[in-house]
Amino acid sequence: MVSGSNGTTSFMTDFLQKCGGYSVVDGGFATELERHGADLNDPLWSAKCLVSSPHLVRKVHLDYLDAGANIIITASYQATIQGFEAKGFSTEEAEALLRRSVEIACEAREIYYDRCMKDSCDFTGSGRISSHPVLVAASVGSYGAYLADGSEYSGDYGDAVSLETLKEFHRRRVLILANSGADLIAFETIPNKLEAKAYAELLEEEGITIPAWFSFNSKDGINVVSGDSILECASIADSCEQVVAVGINCTAPRFIHGLILSVRKVTSKPVIIYPNSGETYNAELKKWVESTGVRDEDFVSYIGKWRDAGASLFGGCCRTTPNTIKAISRVLSNKSLPSANLNIQM
């Protein structure tokens, strides 16, 4: 894997080039586990399946690869040492589960590559598919995700939580994921500036050499969910040497266009977007309020606009499915179409 600033700088641009200019990220992971029957009403949320149903975790990764994803995000969003310990696991077991999240994603990628090899897809000498290279991104969800009360949608941790609290909370987990065999770290659903700063300082203090992306969430299209300025948050990401992409996830599609324009004002790093379906989450019930989201067709019809605004990595977050990703993949590979005609047939 890359190390040193030069390698890190070109990591994502090289990858995008290999993918043909744009890259497809996977879709909602936890919500896809739920669609397959997993009960995530648990403080560990999706990380519960690392213990109870690793085969389902692998299947969901594979479904997204089959749908055309170039980047799969591990099941570690809500996997924390503190969260596992609260469930009675030892520190060693908790750390092993974090590593396991990456192993499962890597296994899915191997199965996918083997299958493609058998189907004689276009393989390069290096054993990678030229038109469909795949990265494994180790998810790091926020401190608010660990709290399991939906606070990644408020970003309000109270005055007792300082920069140091957040750095100490994430330190060991980030170190383990950075040395787990993942290609990069996905710091996702970042709800406030303090947590972005904590991640940036951690990466630097620990001399972490694998690349990372920083992805924020918003509920008004102007600021991140805490009310902190997206410009300030994205600037923190821009200043961090290890960060190879900056963007927005788990945010309603209608806010994405304006947010891409804002992010682009403060960084020339590749912009990643993976919106949710636009539905609302009830953190108490751990359930989604249905019928308020956009249909896959509508979601994907925005892709041309988001691409024109300057994004280059596209996927989905909560309540999007392999169908959404299939449609995104199809739209992006149809390069001959002008943006206004980037329509899809589902």
Ligand X SMILES: C[S+](C)CC[C@H](N)C(=O)O
Smallest distance from the beta carbon of 234 to Zn ion, in angstroms? 19
Q: Does 318 bind Zn ion (CB under 5 A)?
A: yes
> Could you count the other beta carbons within 10 Å of the beta carbon of residue 345?
6
Smallest distance from the beta carbon of 105 to Zn ion, in angstroms? 17
Q: Does 250 bind Zn ion (CB under 5 A)?
A: yes
CA angle 83, 86, 92 (to 5 degrees): 75
Please select the residue that binds ligand HCS; options are 19, 30, 263, 271, rule is CB under 6 A. 30
Report d(CA 256, CA 239) in Å as an integer: 22
Give the one entry of ligand HCS, ligand X, Zn ion, none that residue 136 binds, where binding means its C-beta sits below a cut-off of 5 to 8 angstroms depending on kind. none
Give the one entry of ligand X, ligand HCS, Zn ion, none that residue 46 binds, where binding means its C-beta sits below a cut-off of 5 to 8 angstroms depending on kind. ligand HCS
The structure tokens 């102007």 sit at 222
Please select the residue that binds ligand X; options are 71, 245, 250, 331, rule is CB under 6 A. 250
> In the bound complex, which residue of the shown chain has the CB atom lying closest to ligand X?
148
Residue 46 or 277: which CB sits closer to ligand HCS?
46
CA distances from 50 to 84, 98, 234, 251 (A): 11, 9, 31, 25
Q: Which two tokens stand for residue 249?
A: 């996830």
Report d(CA 286, CA 299) in Å as an integer: 24
Start-end of H helices in the chain: 4-19, 30-35, 48-52, 54-67, 81-86, 91-118, 143-147, 163-178, 193-205, 230-239, 253-266, 296-301, 303-309, 322-333
DSSP H/E element including 189: strand 184-190
Q: Does 145 bind ligand X (CB under 6 A)?
A: yes
Smallest distance from the beta carbon of 293 to ligand X, in angstroms? 13
Report d(CA 171, CA 177) in Å as an integer: 10
Smallest distance from the beta carbon of 122 to ligand HCS, in angstroms? 29
Tell me if residue 45 falls in helix, strand or coil. helix
Please select the residue that binds ligand HCS; options are 15, 22, 77, 314, rule is CB under 6 A. 77
Residue 129 or 196: which CB sits closer to ligand HCS?
196
Q: Does 73 bind ligand HCS (CB under 6 A)?
A: yes
Q: What is the dihedral of CA 178, 181, 184, 189, to 10 degrees?
A: -70
**Part in contact with ligand X (CB under 6 A); list of ranges 62-70, 145-153, 258-266, 326-334:** 145-153
CA angle 306, 241, 12 (to 5 degrees): 45
Please select the residue that binds ligand HCS; options are 57, 250, 309, 327, rule is CB under 6 A. 250
Please select the residue that binds ligand X; options are 152, 195, 228, 296, rule is CB under 6 A. 152
Give the one entry of ligand X, Zn ion, ligand HCS, none that residue 29 binds, where binding means its C-beta sits below a cut-off of 5 to 8 angstroms depending on kind. ligand HCS
How does 26-37 read in b/e, with b if 16+ C-beta sit within 10 Å? bbbbbbbbbeee
**Part in contact with ligand HCS (CB under 6 A); list of ranges 23-31, 127-135, 286-294, 323-331:** 23-31
Q: Does 189 bind ligand X (CB under 6 A)?
A: yes
Q: Does 73 bind Zn ion (CB under 5 A)?
A: no
Please select the residue that binds ligand X; options are 15, 22, 29, 45, rule is CB under 6 A. 45
List beta partners, residue 190.
216
CA distances from 101 to 92, 138, 173, 206, 321 (A): 14, 8, 12, 22, 20
Smallest distance from the beta carbon of 83 to ligand X, in angstroms? 10
**Part in contact with ligand X (CB under 6 A); list of ranges 159-167, 168-176, 278-286, 306-314:** 278-286
Measured distance between the N- and C-terminal CA atoms of the chain, rounded to whole angstroms: 36
Q: Does 344 bind ligand X (CB under 6 A)?
A: no
Binding-site ranges for Zn ion (CB under 5 A):
250, 276, 317-318
Binding-site ranges for ligand HCS (CB under 6 A): 28-30, 46, 73, 77, 139, 188-189, 250, 317-318
